[in-house]
Homo-oligomer: A and B are copies of this chain.
Amino acid sequence: MNNVIDGKETSITIEEEVKQCIKGCIIRPSVAVIQVGDNELSETFIKLKEDACNRVGIYFRYYKFEDGTSELTIINKIKELNNDDYVNGIMIKLPLPEKYNEKRLLNTIINSKDVDGLTDINIGRLLSGRKTIIPSAVLSILTLLKENNIELKGKDVVIVGKGKTVGRPLISVLLNEGATVTICHSNTLDIKRHTLNADIVISATGVKNIITEDMVKENAIVIGVGCCIEKGKILDDIDSKVLEKNSIVIKALDSIVPLTVSMFLKNTLLCYSNKK
């Protein structure tokens, strides 16, 4: 369909750029991913990242802890990775099982290795409009819009979802680009009233088909970032009927997911370049 923007090509280009850069490195860049407990969607995404790292030459380390592992054990592993000169980026796969203090764990990562841009200081830098590491998913949305010459300045953008990995950091990026931003979430009484007026709708909830065709105006740009998994199949926030509405649609699985993986590689390289 010609009203679907496909991010795969862009992701391949970025991956190739990263690969070429790495060819020039004496010591290979290395990234560590920490997972706690089982989560099918998390594992799928980690596998995508691992495969991509292998393709471009980033050394990939994977630490999986059982649900129930003490927080101290995980904190000690993070500290060990902080102090390891051969680890350039550290990522904790979210969401963690509820009993863990996500913020404490995230903020144990030293700033220069925060490959996902989620420590308080990096989030704050982003909100203040300073140069910092931008979360991969947010970077992929921004890249796709820029690649397709979609201007953000003066546009009405509605974000659905106020999560810490996409919704919240996205606010900062969009404001810095001059968009008018509305954030809807589970407490919003009438999401449709907001989305129906938006030039761009970005949905990051992980609720299947939450954005239906009656919720978006004609010619709107609709971006699905959130994902869920059902019977091994990845689904996203955008109902397929939205495509019939003459909207431009960016789907999670086709575009945002592969691009987010490429941006993760790029962020790893950024951490590698920034190391002291």
- Among A124, A183, A184, the one with the most B-chain Cβ atoms within 10 Å of its Cβ is A124
Task: Report yes or no: A187 in contact with B178, Cβ–Cβ below 8 A.
Answer: yes
Is the CB of A81 closer than 8 A to any CB of chain B? Answer: no
Is the CB of A197 closer than 8 A to any CB of chain B? Answer: yes
Is the CB of A123 closer than 8 A to any CB of chain B? Answer: yes
B residues less than 8 Å from A193 (CB atoms): 197
Name the interface size band of chain A: 20 to 34
Bound state CA distance, A164 and B154, in angstroms?
19
Bound state CA distance, A181 and B181, in angstroms?
8
Is the CB of A103 closer than 8 A to any CB of chain B? Answer: yes
Bound state CA distance, A168 and B123, in angstroms?
12
Is the CB of A234 closer than 8 A to any CB of chain B? Answer: no
Task: Report yes or no: B187 in contact with A180, Cβ–Cβ below 8 A.
Answer: yes
For residue A134, give the distance in angstroms from its CB to the closest CB of chain B. Answer: 13
Is the CB of A130 closer than 8 A to any CB of chain B? Answer: yes
Q: A188 — nearest CB in chain B belongs to which residue?
A: B180
Task: Report yes or no: A103 in contact with B127, Cβ–Cβ below 8 A.
Answer: no
B residues less than 8 Å from A171 (CB atoms): 171, 183
For residue A164, give the distance in angstroms from its CB to the closest CB of chain B. Answer: 6
B residues less than 8 Å from A55 (CB atoms): none
B residues less than 8 Å from A103 (CB atoms): 128, 130
For residue A210, give the distance in angstroms from its CB to the closest CB of chain B. Answer: 15
Is the CB of A245 closer than 8 A to any CB of chain B? Answer: no
Is the CB of A27 closer than 8 A to any CB of chain B? Answer: no
B residues less than 8 Å from A56 (CB atoms): none
Mask of A200-242 contacts with B, CB within 8 angstroms, 1/0: 0000000000000000000000000000000000000000000
For residue A220, give the distance in angstroms from its CB to the closest CB of chain B. Answer: 16
Bound state CA distance, A175 and B164, in angstroms?
12
Is the CB of A67 closer than 8 A to any CB of chain B? Answer: no
Residues of A within 8 A of B (CB): 103, 119-125, 127-128, 130, 153-154, 162, 164, 168, 171-172, 175, 178-185, 187-189, 193-194, 197
Kindly list 6 other residue pairs between chains A and B, CB separation below 8 angstroms, not including A121-B121, A127-B172, A128-B168. Answer: A121-B124, A124-B124, A124-B127, A127-B168, A128-B164, A180-B188
